[in-house]
Chains A and B, each alone.
Chain A
C-alpha cells in the first residue's frame, strides 16, 4: 500500500474549509492519482476515507470510473430560473465556479457561516470578481423575498435524508423557511456516501422545495 504523508487528513480539512468538501476531494484525488496512481487513491481511501465521507465517495468514483465525478450546473440553473436573488449556504468552489456565471446579473450572496473552522473570506470571495456578496449571518433575512432563493449543497441521500453541511440546519428555522420562495438542494454526490458522514448533518429530503 502506498504511504501517503501523515498530515494529509489535516491538510484536506483545511482545504475543505475554503473549497468545500466536494471540491477539495476532487483536488486531492486528482493530485494523488497524478503522483501515485490508482494505488495512491486506494491508499487515500484506506487512510482517510472513514474520516471524510465525501473524500471517500469521490475516491471510490475515481477508482470505479477512472474519472472524477463531474459537476453540471444545468439543473441548478433551471431550478433558479425566475429567482430575484440567491443566497448560498455552505460553499463548493467547483459548483459555484460553474453556477454563478449562468445567473448573469442576479445578485448572489454567500452566507459567511462555516462550521469547519476559520475561513479567509476575502480569499474565498476574491475568486468570484465581486459576483458573490458576503452576507453575515445576522443579515440572512435581508435576502428574503417572494422570489428569493436559498441554495445549499447536498452530499448524497439515504432514504428520506439528505447529507448537508450543518449551516443549512442553522438557517432552516420555521421563521426563515416561509421567507424564501425556493429552498434548493444541489446534490453533488447522487450515489451517496458508503461511510457515515461524520462532518455533515441530515436534512429531510422533503424540506427542500427542489432537490436537483
Chain B
C-alpha cells in the first residue's frame, strides 16, 4: 500500500519511442517540406526527457483523434496570423545565424489565441510562454496550438 505522500513511480525509460511516422503525419498540414517535417518530428519524438516525449505523443494523439472526430470544415485559409518559433540557441549566437534560419520550420497559429485572449497583455504572455523554453517543449506547444486552432475551426470558432 502506498502512503498519501508516496511519490508516483517514474515512467519506464525503456519504453518504446513515440511513433515518428504518426508525428510526421500530424505535422503535415503545417510543415509541407518532408525534411523540415522530419526535423520537427525528431525534436518532438527523440529529443527532450523521455517522459516528456511520451506525454507529448499521448496529448498529440488525443488531439488528432478529436480533430478526426470533429465535423469536417472547408479548406483552411491559405494564410492566417502566426507567431515564429525561434531556434533555441544562446542569445549571443543568434545574431550569427543566417536570418532565414533563425526559426523552426513551423509557426504557431495565433487566431484562436487572439479570440481566447482579447487582452493584448494576456495574449502576449500566453504566446511567449508557449513558444519559449527547450525545443521539445516549445515545438510540442506549437503543434498542440495548431491542432487546437484547427479543431476549434471545425467546431465553428474561427475562419
Shortest Cβ gap from B41 to chain A (Å): 10
Q: Once the chains bind, are B93 and A144 in contact (CB under 8 Å)?
A: yes
Do the beta carbons of A177 and B87 come within 8 Å of each other? no
Q: In this complex, which of B46, B87, B100 has the most chain A Cβ atoms within 10 angstroms of its Cβ?
A: B87
B98 proximal to A (CB < 8 A): yes
- Tally inter-chain residue pairs, CB-CB below 8 A: 61
Contacting pair B101 A146 (CB below 8 A):
yes
Residue pair B47, A177 in contact (C-beta under 8 Å):
yes
Chain B residues positioned under 8 Å from A206 (CB to CB): 17, 46
**A145-183 interface mask toward B, CB cutoff 8 Å, 1 = contact, 0 = none?**
111100000000000000000000000001101110110
Within 8 A of A (CB), among B96-151: 96-98, 100-105, 134-136
Given known contacts A141-B90, A142-B93, A209 and B101 CB-to-CB distance under 8 angstroms: no
Q: With an 8 A cutoff between CB atoms, is B152 at the interface?
A: no
| A181 & B93 in contact (Cβ 8 Å cutoff) | no
Select one of B17, B48, B105 contacting A146, CB under 8 A. Answer: B105
A77 at the interface (CB under 8 A from B): no
Q: Which of B6-14, B32-40, B75-83 contacts A (4 or more CB under 8 A)?
A: B32-40
- Alpha-carbon distance A85/B101, docked complex (angstroms): 11
The listed residue (A139, A175, A209) touching B88 by CB distance below 8 A is: A175
CB distance from B99 to the nearest CB of A (A): 10
A84 vs B98: C-alpha distance in the bound complex, in angstroms?
9
Given A145-B87, A146-B87, A175-B88, does the pair A181, B97 have CB atoms closer than 8 Å? no
- Residues from 55 to 109 in A contacting B, C-beta threshold 8 Å: 82, 84-85
A179:B35 contact, CB within 8 angstroms: no
- Which residues of the other chain, B, contact A178 by a CB distance below 8 angstroms? 42-43, 47, 87-88, 134-136
B62 within 8 A of A: no
Q: Is B89 an interface residue (CB 8 A)?
A: yes
Given contacts A142-B96, A209-B42, A147 and B101 within 8 Å (CB-CB): yes
Which residues of chain A have C-beta atoms less than 8 A from B39's C-beta?
A: 146, 181-182, 209
10 contacts between A and B (CB under 8 A): A139-B96, A142-B96, A144-B93, A144-B97, A144-B101, A145-B101, A146-B102, A148-B101, A174-B47, A175-B88
